[in-house]
A and B are shown apart, each in its own frame.
Chain A
Amino acid sequence: MLVAHALWAQAEIPLDQRQSGSVLLSPSNLALQNDPGLHPASLWLLEGEALWKTPPSNNAPSCASCHGDAQTSMRDVATRYPRPRGAQLQNLEGQINQCRVQRQHQPAWPWESAPLLSVTSWVAHQAKGKAIDDFASPHLKADLAAGRDLFFQRMGQINLSCAQCHDQRWGQKLAGVVIPQAHPTGYPLYRLEWQGVGSLQRRLRNCMNAVRAEPYALGSLELTRLELYLMWRARGMPLEAPALRP
Protein backbone atom coordinates (compact mmCIF):
# COMPACT_ATOMS: atom_id res chain seq x y z
CA MET A 1 0.00 0.00 0.00
CA LEU A 2 2.93 2.30 0.69
CA VAL A 3 4.08 1.75 -2.89
CA ALA A 4 0.63 2.57 -4.21
CA HIS A 5 0.55 5.72 -2.11
CA ALA A 6 3.94 6.74 -3.51
CA LEU A 7 2.73 6.18 -7.07
CA TRP A 8 -0.38 8.24 -6.45
CA ALA A 9 1.77 10.98 -4.97
CA GLN A 10 3.67 11.30 -8.24
CA ALA A 11 0.49 12.02 -10.12
CA GLU A 12 -0.77 14.43 -7.47
CA ILE A 13 -0.41 18.16 -7.21
CA PRO A 14 2.70 18.77 -5.03
CA LEU A 15 1.43 19.26 -1.49
CA ASP A 16 2.84 22.75 -1.15
CA GLN A 17 1.20 23.89 -4.41
CA ARG A 18 -2.31 23.00 -3.33
CA GLN A 19 -4.74 25.85 -2.97
CA SER A 20 -8.41 26.22 -2.15
CA GLY A 21 -10.89 27.41 -4.76
CA SER A 22 -11.28 30.53 -2.64
CA VAL A 23 -8.21 31.98 -4.36
CA LEU A 24 -10.20 32.12 -7.59
CA LEU A 25 -13.10 34.10 -6.15
CA SER A 26 -13.72 37.63 -7.38
CA PRO A 27 -13.22 40.35 -4.73
CA SER A 28 -16.99 40.76 -4.59
CA ASN A 29 -17.62 37.05 -3.92
CA LEU A 30 -14.70 36.78 -1.52
CA ALA A 31 -16.25 39.59 0.52
CA LEU A 32 -19.51 37.61 0.63
CA GLN A 33 -17.73 34.46 1.75
CA ASN A 34 -15.78 36.15 4.51
CA ASP A 35 -18.60 38.15 6.10
CA PRO A 36 -21.20 36.10 8.01
CA GLY A 37 -23.64 39.01 7.77
CA LEU A 38 -23.53 38.82 3.95
CA HIS A 39 -22.86 35.10 3.30
CA PRO A 40 -26.15 33.44 2.28
CA ALA A 41 -25.00 30.16 3.89
CA SER A 42 -25.36 31.89 7.28
CA LEU A 43 -29.08 31.24 6.92
CA TRP A 44 -28.42 27.49 6.67
CA LEU A 45 -26.14 27.70 9.70
CA LEU A 46 -28.95 29.33 11.69
CA GLU A 47 -31.26 26.50 10.64
CA GLY A 48 -28.64 23.87 11.48
CA GLU A 49 -28.04 25.34 14.93
CA ALA A 50 -31.77 25.32 15.64
CA LEU A 51 -32.15 21.71 14.48
CA TRP A 52 -29.14 20.70 16.60
CA LYS A 53 -30.82 22.00 19.74
CA THR A 54 -34.41 20.95 19.07
CA PRO A 55 -35.73 17.46 19.92
CA PRO A 56 -37.30 16.01 16.77
CA SER A 57 -40.27 14.70 18.75
CA ASN A 58 -41.41 14.36 22.34
CA ASN A 59 -39.63 11.08 23.03
CA ALA A 60 -36.49 11.61 20.99
CA PRO A 61 -33.28 13.32 22.10
CA SER A 62 -31.95 16.34 20.26
CA CYS A 63 -28.41 16.23 18.88
CA ALA A 64 -27.45 18.48 21.79
CA SER A 65 -28.78 15.96 24.36
CA CYS A 66 -25.98 13.55 23.45
CA HIS A 67 -23.36 15.82 21.91
CA GLY A 68 -23.79 18.95 23.98
CA ASP A 69 -22.44 22.17 22.57
CA ALA A 70 -21.46 21.57 18.94
CA GLN A 71 -18.62 24.05 19.15
CA THR A 72 -16.86 21.66 21.52
CA SER A 73 -18.03 18.20 20.54
CA MET A 74 -17.89 18.73 16.76
CA ARG A 75 -14.75 20.86 16.74
CA ASP A 76 -12.84 18.66 14.26
CA VAL A 77 -15.32 15.95 13.32
CA ALA A 78 -15.74 17.10 9.73
CA THR A 79 -11.99 16.71 9.10
CA ARG A 80 -12.25 12.92 9.53
CA TYR A 81 -15.10 12.02 7.20
CA PRO A 82 -15.79 9.86 5.16
CA ARG A 83 -15.07 6.98 7.51
CA PRO A 84 -16.45 3.48 8.06
CA ARG A 85 -19.39 3.41 10.45
CA GLY A 86 -20.46 -0.14 11.05
CA ALA A 87 -20.38 -1.92 7.71
CA GLN A 88 -20.65 1.18 5.60
CA LEU A 89 -18.39 3.98 4.44
CA GLN A 90 -20.23 7.12 5.52
CA ASN A 91 -19.72 10.74 4.72
CA LEU A 92 -20.80 13.38 7.21
CA GLU A 93 -24.34 13.54 5.80
CA GLY A 94 -24.61 9.76 6.07
CA GLN A 95 -23.34 9.82 9.65
CA ILE A 96 -25.90 12.45 10.62
CA ASN A 97 -28.66 10.35 9.10
CA GLN A 98 -27.34 7.26 10.86
CA CYS A 99 -27.64 9.06 14.20
CA ARG A 100 -31.08 10.30 13.22
CA VAL A 101 -32.33 6.80 12.51
CA GLN A 102 -30.57 4.84 15.24
CA ARG A 103 -30.47 7.34 18.12
CA GLN A 104 -33.38 9.66 17.42
CA HIS A 105 -35.68 7.05 15.86
CA GLN A 106 -36.63 9.37 13.04
CA PRO A 107 -36.72 8.67 9.29
CA ALA A 108 -33.54 9.62 7.50
CA TRP A 109 -33.55 13.00 5.80
CA PRO A 110 -33.40 12.77 1.98
CA TRP A 111 -30.07 13.62 0.36
CA GLU A 112 -29.80 17.35 -0.41
CA SER A 113 -32.83 18.14 1.74
CA ALA A 114 -32.77 21.48 3.57
CA PRO A 115 -32.57 20.06 7.11
CA LEU A 116 -29.77 17.61 6.22
CA LEU A 117 -27.76 20.34 4.51
CA SER A 118 -28.37 22.71 7.41
CA VAL A 119 -27.18 20.30 10.10
CA THR A 120 -24.23 19.15 7.95
CA SER A 121 -23.23 22.78 7.39
CA TRP A 122 -23.52 23.49 11.11
CA VAL A 123 -21.36 20.48 12.05
CA ALA A 124 -18.78 21.09 9.31
CA HIS A 125 -18.58 24.76 10.25
CA GLN A 126 -17.41 23.87 13.76
CA ALA A 127 -14.21 22.48 12.20
CA LYS A 128 -13.53 25.58 10.14
CA GLY A 129 -9.81 26.28 10.06
CA LYS A 130 -8.86 22.76 11.21
CA ALA A 131 -6.59 20.60 9.08
CA ILE A 132 -8.14 17.79 7.05
CA ASP A 133 -7.16 14.32 8.31
CA ASP A 134 -4.56 12.17 6.51
CA PHE A 135 -6.91 9.16 6.36
CA ALA A 136 -4.01 6.79 7.01
CA SER A 137 -6.06 4.18 8.86
CA PRO A 138 -5.73 0.64 7.41
CA HIS A 139 -9.53 0.36 7.53
CA LEU A 140 -9.69 2.91 4.72
CA LYS A 141 -7.20 1.25 2.35
CA ALA A 142 -9.65 -0.45 0.03
CA ASP A 143 -12.11 2.45 -0.19
CA LEU A 144 -9.32 4.95 -0.75
CA ALA A 145 -7.87 2.85 -3.58
CA ALA A 146 -11.31 2.57 -5.17
CA GLY A 147 -11.85 6.32 -4.85
CA ARG A 148 -8.48 6.97 -6.43
CA ASP A 149 -9.35 4.72 -9.36
CA LEU A 150 -12.56 6.70 -9.92
CA PHE A 151 -10.59 9.95 -9.91
CA PHE A 152 -8.26 8.67 -12.62
CA GLN A 153 -10.94 6.91 -14.67
CA ARG A 154 -12.03 8.43 -17.96
CA MET A 155 -15.79 8.91 -18.02
CA GLY A 156 -18.65 9.83 -20.25
CA GLN A 157 -19.02 10.69 -23.90
CA ILE A 158 -16.42 13.40 -23.46
CA ASN A 159 -14.14 10.70 -22.01
CA LEU A 160 -12.29 12.79 -19.46
CA SER A 161 -11.14 11.87 -15.96
CA CYS A 162 -11.14 14.17 -12.94
CA ALA A 163 -7.34 14.03 -12.95
CA GLN A 164 -7.01 15.31 -16.50
CA CYS A 165 -8.60 18.65 -15.60
CA HIS A 166 -7.93 19.01 -11.90
CA ASP A 167 -4.46 17.45 -11.46
CA GLN A 168 -2.94 18.17 -14.87
CA ARG A 169 -4.64 21.35 -16.08
CA TRP A 170 -5.58 23.31 -12.97
CA GLY A 171 -4.97 26.99 -13.49
CA GLN A 172 -5.64 26.73 -17.23
CA LYS A 173 -8.92 27.87 -18.72
CA LEU A 174 -12.01 25.97 -19.79
CA ALA A 175 -14.62 28.04 -21.59
CA GLY A 176 -13.01 31.19 -20.25
CA VAL A 177 -13.09 30.09 -16.62
CA VAL A 178 -10.04 29.02 -14.62
CA ILE A 179 -9.99 25.30 -13.75
CA PRO A 180 -9.71 24.89 -9.96
CA GLN A 181 -7.74 22.13 -8.24
CA ALA A 182 -11.10 20.85 -6.95
CA HIS A 183 -10.47 20.38 -3.25
CA PRO A 184 -13.44 19.68 -0.99
CA THR A 185 -12.37 22.13 1.70
CA GLY A 186 -15.50 24.29 1.57
CA TYR A 187 -18.37 21.80 1.60
CA PRO A 188 -21.28 22.06 2.15
CA LEU A 189 -21.18 25.35 0.29
CA TYR A 190 -23.39 28.03 -1.24
CA ARG A 191 -23.07 27.89 -5.00
CA LEU A 192 -24.40 30.86 -6.96
CA GLU A 193 -25.29 28.44 -9.77
CA TRP A 194 -27.55 26.54 -7.34
CA GLN A 195 -28.77 29.64 -5.52
CA GLY A 196 -28.54 27.57 -2.39
CA VAL A 197 -26.33 25.34 -0.28
CA GLY A 198 -25.39 21.93 -1.65
CA SER A 199 -23.13 19.01 -0.90
CA LEU A 200 -19.88 17.80 -2.46
CA GLN A 201 -21.72 14.86 -3.98
CA ARG A 202 -24.12 17.20 -5.74
CA ARG A 203 -21.13 19.01 -7.21
CA LEU A 204 -19.54 15.73 -8.31
CA ARG A 205 -22.75 14.84 -10.11
CA ASN A 206 -22.57 18.19 -11.95
CA CYS A 207 -19.05 17.28 -13.11
CA MET A 208 -20.19 13.88 -14.32
CA ASN A 209 -23.02 15.51 -16.26
CA ALA A 210 -20.51 17.88 -17.79
CA VAL A 211 -18.52 15.01 -19.29
CA ARG A 212 -21.80 13.42 -20.37
CA ALA A 213 -21.53 10.50 -17.99
CA GLU A 214 -24.49 9.05 -16.14
CA PRO A 215 -23.88 10.40 -12.63
CA TYR A 216 -23.70 8.06 -9.65
CA ALA A 217 -26.59 8.41 -7.22
CA LEU A 218 -26.35 10.64 -4.17
CA GLY A 219 -25.13 8.55 -1.26
CA SER A 220 -23.74 5.86 -3.57
CA LEU A 221 -20.60 3.98 -2.60
CA GLU A 222 -18.85 5.35 -5.69
CA LEU A 223 -19.44 8.98 -4.77
CA THR A 224 -18.56 8.37 -1.13
CA ARG A 225 -15.29 6.69 -2.15
CA LEU A 226 -14.51 9.58 -4.49
CA GLU A 227 -15.24 11.96 -1.63
CA LEU A 228 -12.79 10.01 0.54
CA TYR A 229 -10.09 10.25 -2.12
CA LEU A 230 -10.68 14.00 -2.53
CA MET A 231 -10.39 14.51 1.22
CA TRP A 232 -7.16 12.48 1.31
CA ARG A 233 -5.87 14.52 -1.64
CA ALA A 234 -6.59 17.65 0.43
CA ARG A 235 -5.04 16.25 3.65
CA GLY A 236 -3.62 18.95 5.85
CA MET A 237 -5.51 21.75 4.12
CA PRO A 238 -7.80 23.80 6.35
CA LEU A 239 -11.53 23.27 6.21
CA GLU A 240 -13.53 26.35 5.26
CA ALA A 241 -17.14 25.23 5.40
CA PRO A 242 -19.46 26.70 4.37
CA ALA A 243 -17.71 28.35 1.42
CA LEU A 244 -19.14 30.37 -1.47
CA ARG A 245 -18.57 29.46 -5.11
CA PRO A 246 -19.89 30.81 -8.45
Chain B
Amino acid sequence: MTATRRQMLCLVGATAVLPAPVVHASPDSARQALQSILGNARPQTGRVTIELPPLVENGNSVVVQVSVSSPMTAQDHVKAIHLVAEGNPLPSIMTAYFYPENGRATFTSRIRLAESQRVWAIAQMSDGSYWQGHADTLVTLSACTEER
Protein backbone atom coordinates (compact mmCIF):
# COMPACT_ATOMS: atom_id res chain seq x y z
CA MET B 1 0.00 0.00 0.00
CA THR B 2 1.38 3.47 -0.85
CA ALA B 3 2.12 5.11 2.45
CA THR B 4 3.09 8.37 0.73
CA ARG B 5 -0.37 8.92 -0.71
CA ARG B 6 -2.04 8.19 2.64
CA GLN B 7 0.21 10.67 4.38
CA MET B 8 -0.43 13.42 1.84
CA LEU B 9 -4.15 12.88 2.14
CA CYS B 10 -3.75 13.02 5.89
CA LEU B 11 -2.23 16.48 5.72
CA VAL B 12 -4.32 18.14 3.04
CA GLY B 13 -7.45 17.39 5.01
CA ALA B 14 -9.06 14.68 2.92
CA THR B 15 -12.46 13.29 3.79
CA ALA B 16 -12.80 10.94 6.70
CA VAL B 17 -13.25 7.83 4.60
CA LEU B 18 -9.97 7.24 2.83
CA PRO B 19 -9.70 5.06 -0.23
CA ALA B 20 -9.02 1.41 0.50
CA PRO B 21 -5.56 0.00 -0.11
CA VAL B 22 -4.66 -1.74 -3.34
CA VAL B 23 -6.66 -4.96 -2.99
CA HIS B 24 -10.43 -4.74 -3.37
CA ALA B 25 -13.13 -7.33 -3.03
CA SER B 26 -15.13 -7.92 -6.13
CA PRO B 27 -18.89 -8.40 -5.83
CA ASP B 28 -18.21 -11.86 -7.28
CA SER B 29 -15.94 -13.02 -4.48
CA ALA B 30 -18.47 -11.99 -1.86
CA ARG B 31 -21.21 -13.81 -3.78
CA GLN B 32 -19.01 -16.89 -4.08
CA ALA B 33 -18.32 -16.85 -0.35
CA LEU B 34 -22.04 -16.76 0.42
CA GLN B 35 -22.71 -19.42 -2.22
CA SER B 36 -20.21 -21.85 -0.73
CA ILE B 37 -21.89 -21.49 2.65
CA LEU B 38 -25.49 -21.74 1.51
CA GLY B 39 -25.36 -24.02 -1.50
CA ASN B 40 -28.94 -24.05 -2.77
CA ALA B 41 -30.45 -23.08 0.57
CA ARG B 42 -32.28 -19.79 0.91
CA PRO B 43 -31.58 -18.01 4.16
CA GLN B 44 -34.35 -16.39 6.17
CA THR B 45 -33.78 -12.99 7.72
CA GLY B 46 -34.08 -12.85 11.49
CA ARG B 47 -32.86 -14.47 14.72
CA VAL B 48 -29.31 -13.36 13.99
CA THR B 49 -27.90 -10.23 15.59
CA ILE B 50 -24.49 -8.96 14.50
CA GLU B 51 -23.03 -5.93 16.24
CA LEU B 52 -20.25 -3.76 14.87
CA PRO B 53 -19.29 -0.24 15.95
CA PRO B 54 -21.01 2.14 13.49
CA LEU B 55 -17.76 4.08 13.06
CA VAL B 56 -14.37 2.39 13.22
CA GLU B 57 -11.17 4.32 13.93
CA ASN B 58 -8.89 1.70 12.50
CA GLY B 59 -9.91 -1.21 10.31
CA ASN B 60 -7.10 -3.36 11.71
CA SER B 61 -9.15 -4.41 14.72
CA VAL B 62 -12.94 -4.21 14.82
CA VAL B 63 -14.89 -5.85 17.61
CA VAL B 64 -17.71 -7.99 16.25
CA GLN B 65 -20.33 -9.74 18.36
CA VAL B 66 -22.83 -12.22 16.94
CA SER B 67 -25.81 -13.76 18.76
CA VAL B 68 -28.44 -16.14 17.43
CA SER B 69 -31.64 -16.81 19.32
CA SER B 70 -32.00 -20.54 19.84
CA PRO B 71 -32.92 -22.85 22.77
CA MET B 72 -29.56 -24.63 22.23
CA THR B 73 -30.98 -28.03 23.12
CA ALA B 74 -29.76 -31.26 21.58
CA GLN B 75 -32.81 -31.24 19.33
CA ASP B 76 -32.77 -27.58 18.39
CA HIS B 77 -29.53 -25.63 18.31
CA VAL B 78 -27.21 -23.52 16.18
CA LYS B 79 -24.58 -25.66 14.51
CA ALA B 80 -22.47 -22.94 12.97
CA ILE B 81 -22.24 -19.21 12.36
CA HIS B 82 -20.41 -17.92 9.28
CA LEU B 83 -19.03 -14.40 8.98
CA VAL B 84 -18.68 -12.79 5.55
CA ALA B 85 -17.29 -9.30 4.97
CA GLU B 86 -18.46 -8.06 1.57
CA GLY B 87 -15.71 -5.51 1.08
CA ASN B 88 -12.67 -7.54 2.13
CA PRO B 89 -10.26 -9.08 -0.40
CA LEU B 90 -11.12 -12.44 1.17
CA PRO B 91 -14.78 -12.08 2.16
CA SER B 92 -14.92 -15.34 4.16
CA ILE B 93 -13.81 -14.37 7.65
CA MET B 94 -14.53 -17.29 9.92
CA THR B 95 -16.93 -20.03 10.91
CA ALA B 96 -17.76 -20.74 14.55
CA TYR B 97 -19.20 -24.15 15.51
CA PHE B 98 -21.49 -24.54 18.49
CA TYR B 99 -22.84 -27.26 20.78
CA PRO B 100 -25.71 -27.43 23.27
CA GLU B 101 -23.01 -27.11 25.99
CA ASN B 102 -22.56 -23.47 24.98
CA GLY B 103 -25.93 -22.61 26.45
CA ARG B 104 -26.16 -19.67 24.07
CA ALA B 105 -25.10 -19.27 20.45
CA THR B 106 -22.97 -16.17 20.77
CA PHE B 107 -19.37 -15.23 20.14
CA THR B 108 -17.20 -12.13 20.07
CA SER B 109 -14.00 -11.64 18.13
CA ARG B 110 -11.91 -8.93 16.46
CA ILE B 111 -11.81 -8.74 12.69
CA ARG B 112 -10.00 -6.71 10.06
CA LEU B 113 -12.06 -4.61 7.67
CA ALA B 114 -10.41 -3.24 4.55
CA GLU B 115 -13.00 -0.53 3.99
CA SER B 116 -16.48 0.64 4.92
CA GLN B 117 -18.82 -2.25 4.18
CA ARG B 118 -21.54 -4.68 5.15
CA VAL B 119 -20.71 -7.74 7.22
CA TRP B 120 -23.01 -10.78 7.14
CA ALA B 121 -23.59 -13.44 9.79
CA ILE B 122 -25.23 -16.61 8.54
CA ALA B 123 -26.43 -19.17 11.06
CA GLN B 124 -26.82 -22.82 10.20
CA MET B 125 -29.38 -24.59 12.38
CA SER B 126 -29.59 -28.22 13.45
CA ASP B 127 -32.80 -28.58 11.42
CA GLY B 128 -30.91 -27.60 8.27
CA SER B 129 -32.35 -24.09 8.00
CA TYR B 130 -30.25 -20.95 7.45
CA TRP B 131 -30.85 -17.53 9.01
CA GLN B 132 -29.01 -14.29 8.28
CA GLY B 133 -28.32 -10.86 9.70
CA HIS B 134 -26.02 -8.03 8.75
CA ALA B 135 -24.43 -4.84 10.03
CA ASP B 136 -22.92 -1.88 8.18
CA THR B 137 -19.94 0.11 9.34
CA LEU B 138 -17.83 3.09 8.29
CA VAL B 139 -14.09 2.50 8.42
CA THR B 140 -11.85 5.53 8.77
CA LEU B 141 -8.11 5.64 9.34
CA SER B 142 -6.03 7.34 12.01
CA ALA B 143 -4.09 10.36 10.84
CA CYS B 144 -0.29 10.21 10.76
CA THR B 145 0.10 6.55 9.93
CA GLU B 146 3.33 4.72 9.66
CA GLU B 147 6.21 4.28 7.38
CA ARG B 148 9.09 2.71 9.27
Contacts and interface: CB of A to CB of B under 8 A. Distances in A.
Are A and B direct contacts in the complex by CB distance below 8 Å?
yes
Interface string B66-101: 000000000000000000000000000000000000
B61 interface: yes
Contacts of B60: 192-193, 195
Interface in B25-70: 53, 55-58, 60-63
A125 B48 CA distance: 40
Nearest to A179: B143
Interface stretch (A26-34, A56-64, A92-100): A26-34
B14 interface: yes
Contact of B16 (A40, A177, A207): A177
A32 B10 contact: no
A246 B10 CA distance: 15
A209 B146 contact: yes
B62 to A, nearest CB: 8
Contact of B144 (A192, A194, A210): A210
A26 B142 contact: no
A67 interface: no
Interface in A1-59: 26-29, 31-32, 40
Nearest to A211: B11
A176 interface: yes
B132 interface: no
A210 B58 contact: no
Interface centre among A31, A179, A192 (most CB of B within 10 A): A192
B13 A174 contact: yes
A175 B63 contact: no
Given A29-B57, A210-B7, A194 B13 contact: no
Contacts of A205: 148
Contacts of B14: 175-176
A206 B148 CA distance: 7
Contacts of A26: 53, 55-57
Most A CB atoms within 10 A — which of B14, B17, B148?
A: B148
A174 B146 contact: no
Contact of B145 (A176, A179, A193): A193
Interface string A215-246: 00000000000000000000000000000011
A156 to B, nearest CB: 10
A68 B14 CA distance: 52
Nearest to B17: A176
Contact of B63 (A32, A174, A207, A211): A32
Given A26-B53, A175-B11, A192 B61 contact: yes
A210 B143 contact: yes
A56 B57 CA distance: 40
Nearest to A209: B147
Contacts of A158: 11
A236 B148 CA distance: 32
B32 to A, nearest CB: 28
A8 B143 CA distance: 27
Contacts of A32: 63
A179 B41 CA distance: 49
Given A26-B53, A29-B57, 17 more contacts: A26-B56, A28-B53, A175-B11, A175-B141, A176-B14, A176-B16, A177-B141, A177-B142, A192-B60, A193-B142, A194-B146, A209-B144, A209-B146, A210-B144, A210-B145, A212-B7, A246-B57
Interface of B: 3, 7, 9-11, 13-18, 53, 55-58, 60-63, 140-148
9 contacts: A26-B57, A174-B144, A177-B57, A177-B140, A206-B144, A206-B145, A206-B146, A209-B147, A210-B10
